[in-house]
């Protein structure tokens, strides 16, 4: 069976595929992996995911490569981050082996939905863990559902690897220093919706967050990590409210491999003026170069140029090359799922 999809013009959105995979946690243990073709979930109206935010998700991709194989990228890191989130909001941890087994099964069952190489599209993998047990009091659930669905997606930002403008928001915080910012939970994204809409209404691609406590330091580019480059050095913020991006972690290692220095530390907002290049990084876009960042409160524009800088391009090309099996995977980040 074939798909009549215009891969080159596919948006970053949901497309129905053939199967998803599910696993239930009941009576203190994870059950067997199940294959399902339904898009809906039978859910109790008092489920803790609906009332108390016991919900976590991940995002990773499968790549159809020029050698004919299909690879996934650093799924062990996604499993570890999900486990960290589980510890943070009191959900049972899914073993890494089970996580990878379900990722592989979801990809293989939906092989016909994996976009062709060089189409500009990829297969996005969405693991989701929710509390399904009925509770009225504020306490953890005793039952959970872990599922993985996949969907083919185009670039997160229109134009793919092209520069985008951002605006600093001081009227909203995505997360707090001792809150859930380091966990990948839906509440953090709900907290970003208003500021994101404001940024779009003003003509920006995304909002840009400062630290919630003092509004002095860089936190995140919308839902992505930030990096800046100057003097052959890759800078990225260190904060207790920033989600640990697997893409950023990978880019830091790639930067070292390419001979760059790496500094991860608190970065004052004024330091933006010193960077030669800047970017947002994450699974969806890999790298989205930043053209400029406006600070409406001070009237300052931090300008990085209308095109991606040379280091941003080299980092992007190298990481994508590893993901597609074109460049040597010397850190053993990819795993062949099909082929």
Catalytic residues: 184
User: Judging by beta carbons within 10 Å of its beta carbon (0-12, 13-18, 19+), is residue 47 exposed, middle or buried?
Assistant: buried
Picking from 259, 251, 321, the residue whose alpha carbon sits closest to that of residue 289 is 251
Distances (CA, A) of 116 to 2, 51, 125, 152: 12, 41, 16, 10
Alpha carbons 273 and 103: distance in angstroms, whole number: 42
Q: Which residues contact 270 (CB under 8 A, 6 or more apart)?
A: none
Nearest to 161 by CA among 290, 40, 17: 290
CB of 164 closer than 8 Å to CB of 288: yes
For tokens 């409406």, the residue is: 296
CA pair distance 22, 130, nearest whole angstrom: 11
CA–CA gap between residue 201 and residue 87 (Å, rounded): 37
Range list of H helices, the chain = 48-51, 75-88, 96-109, 186-190, 193-201, 246-257, 310-323
CA distance 209 to 288: 16
Residues 6+ apart with CB under 8 A from 315: 234, 251, 254, 255, 258, 287
Residue in this structure with the two tokens 């008092």, named with its chain if needed: 46
What is the C-alpha to C-alpha distance for residues 48 and 54, in angstroms, rounded to an integer? 6
């Amino acid at each position: 069976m074939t798909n009549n999809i215009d891969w080159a013009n596919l948006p970053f959105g949901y497309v129905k595929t053939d199967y998803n995979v599910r696993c239930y946690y009941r009576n203190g243990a994870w059950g067997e992996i199940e294959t399902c073709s339904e898009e809906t979930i039978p859910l109790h109206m008092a489920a803790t995911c609906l009332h108390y935010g016991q919900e976590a998700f991940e995002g990773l991709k499968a790549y159809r490569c020029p050698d004919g194989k299909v690879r996934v990228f650093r799924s062990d890191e996604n499993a570890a981050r999900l486990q960290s989130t589980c510890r943070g909001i009191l959900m049972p941890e899914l073993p890494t082996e089970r996580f990878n087994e379900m990722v592989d099964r979801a990809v293989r069952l939906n092989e016909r939905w994996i976009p062709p190489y060089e189409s500009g599209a990829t297969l996005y993998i969405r693991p989701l863990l929710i509390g399904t047990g009925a509770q009225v009091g504020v306490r953890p659930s005793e039952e959970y559902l872990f599922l993985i669905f996949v969907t083919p997606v185009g670039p997160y930002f229109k134009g793919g690897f092209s520069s985008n403008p951002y605006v600093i928001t001081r009227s909203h915080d995505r997360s707090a220093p001792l809150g859930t910012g380091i966990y990948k939970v839906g509440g953090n994204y709900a907290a970003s919706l208003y500021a994101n809409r404001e940024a779009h209404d003003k003509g920006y691609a995304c909002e840009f967050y400062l630290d919630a406590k003092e509004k002095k330091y860089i936190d995140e580019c919308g839902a992505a990590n930030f990096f800046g480059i100057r003097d052959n050095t890759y800078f990225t913020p260190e904060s207790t409210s920033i989600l640990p991006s697997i893409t950023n972690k990978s880019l830091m290692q790639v930067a070292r491999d390419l001979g760059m220095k790496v500094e991860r530390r608190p970065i004052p907002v004024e330091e933006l003026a010193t960077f030669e290049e800047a970017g947002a990084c994450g699974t969806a876009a890999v790298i989205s170069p930043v053209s400029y960042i406006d600070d409406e409160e001070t009237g300052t524009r931090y300008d990085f140029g209308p095109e991606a800088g040379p280091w941003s391009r080299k980092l992007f090309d190298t990481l994508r090359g590893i993901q597609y099996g074109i460049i040597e995977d010397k850190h053993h980040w990819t795993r062949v799922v099909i082929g």
